[in-house]
């Protein structure tokens, strides 16, 4: 019993130190410290480690989900089906810590546009890690303490699980766009609207054809929530403004409009848009974009589909 108490206190001490570190983590350095274009050697190392965020972020999700399922099964069977989850929860806590650290490194690169979505993802990710460590500390205490510690553990584990869902939702929205946009009824509604517009004798080339193409294939990486290369294509004004490296849209000039030229690059080219692995434009869609640029790239142009 004494040995178990000793290791319980050691584990709880590690949890407390980890929680303190996580609380202080967002205040270490300012955003932009690891921007690969301006960073010093230390910043470049932070930039490098930021790439590991994607490696670790799924591990605590799977581990916490396993622990949650196990504890629910134990509750439903009145304890007859019970597994010691301390090891699995310890693994989840360590992986959550690593995901938070590497995620913060990625945050410092300033590669993602500042805004509520990014801040909410950072906040929820850190809170998730803190809750997992707190739940772990209470879990150890429940083995040597009174029964009410088990109730506290259940509450904390549940809070961890729902905070994990929130952080995952915000992270998915940053990377892939709003998940709810793929809701079947919304997809069918957009499809019907597009078909109705296509049936008209004359339509606005930008509003009715070009803009839907860009929204489907381009805006998730170059829109309001995310702008790779500081480029947005969700309005004509932003396309005329261009990105960091090249002109996106030059009315009447296909060869100098990256909106067009990047579509024809080889799939393995770093500048290919959309990049390899993303849904590509069809030949007809590319033709519409080229027609729009050649005709002056304004919102007033009308065509017969």
Whether the predicted model's global pTM rises above the 0.75 cut = no
* Helix or strand holding residue 204 (H, E): strand 203-204
- Tokens for 246, please give them: 């090249």
Would you call 270 helix, strand, or coil by DSSP?
coil
pLDDT tens-place values along the chain, 305 residues long? 446 677 788 888 999 999 999 999 888 888 888 888 888 999 899 999 998 998 898 999 999 999 999 999 988 888 788 888 899 999 999 999 999 999 999 999 988 877 788 889 989 999 999 999 999 999 988 877 677 888 999 999 999 999 999 998 888 888 777 767 777 888 788 888 877 766 666 788 999 999 999 998 888 888 888 888 788 889 999 899 888 878 889 999 999 998 999 999 888 888 888 888 788 999 999 999 999 999 999 999 988 77
The residue to which tokens 């080339």 are assigned: 205
CA–CA distance from 75 to each of 47, 149, 152 (Å)? 44, 15, 14
User: Domain residues of the chain, as ranges?
Assistant: 2-176, 183-303
Q: How many CB atoms lie within 10 A of CB 24?
A: 9
- Tokens for 117, please give them: 């979505």
């Amino acid at each position: 019993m004494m040995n178990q108490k000793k290791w319980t206190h050691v584990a709880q001490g590690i949890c407390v130190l980890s929680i303190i570190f996580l609380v202080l983590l967002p205040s270490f350095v300012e955003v932009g410290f690891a921007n690969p274009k301006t960073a010093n050697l230390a910043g470049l190392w932070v930039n490098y480690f930021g790439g590991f965020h994607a490696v670790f972020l799924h591990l605590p999700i799977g581990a916490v989900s396993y622990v949650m399922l196990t504890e629910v099964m134990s509750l439903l069977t009145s304890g007859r089906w019970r597994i010691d989850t301390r090891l699995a929860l310890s693994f989840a806590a360590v992986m959550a810590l690593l995901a938070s650290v590497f995620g913060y490194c990625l945050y410092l690169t300033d590669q993602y546009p500042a805004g509520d979505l990014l801040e909410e993802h950072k906040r929820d990710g850190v809170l998730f890690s803190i809750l997992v460590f707190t739940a772990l500390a209470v879990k150890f205490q429940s083995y040597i303490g009174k029964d009410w510690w088990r109730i506290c553990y259940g509450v904390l584990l549940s809070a961890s699980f729902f905070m994990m869902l929130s952080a995952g939702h915000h992270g998915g929205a940053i990377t892939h766009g709003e998940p709810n946009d793929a809701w079947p009824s919304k997809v069918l509604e957009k499809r019907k609207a597009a078909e109705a517009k296509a049936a008209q004798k004359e339509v606005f080339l930008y509003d009715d054809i070009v803009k839907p193409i860009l929204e489907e294939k381009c805006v998730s990486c170059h829109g309001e929530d995310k702008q790779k290369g500081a480029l947005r294509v969700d309005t004509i004004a932003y396309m005329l403004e261009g990105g960091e490296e090249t002109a996106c849209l030059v009315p009447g000039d296909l060869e100098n409009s990256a909106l067009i030229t990047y579509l024809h690059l080889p799939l393995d080219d770093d500048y290919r848009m959309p990049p390899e692995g993303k849904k590509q434009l069809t030949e007809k869609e590319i033709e519409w974009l080229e027609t729009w640029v050649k005709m002056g790239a304004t919102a007033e142009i009308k065509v017969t589909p």
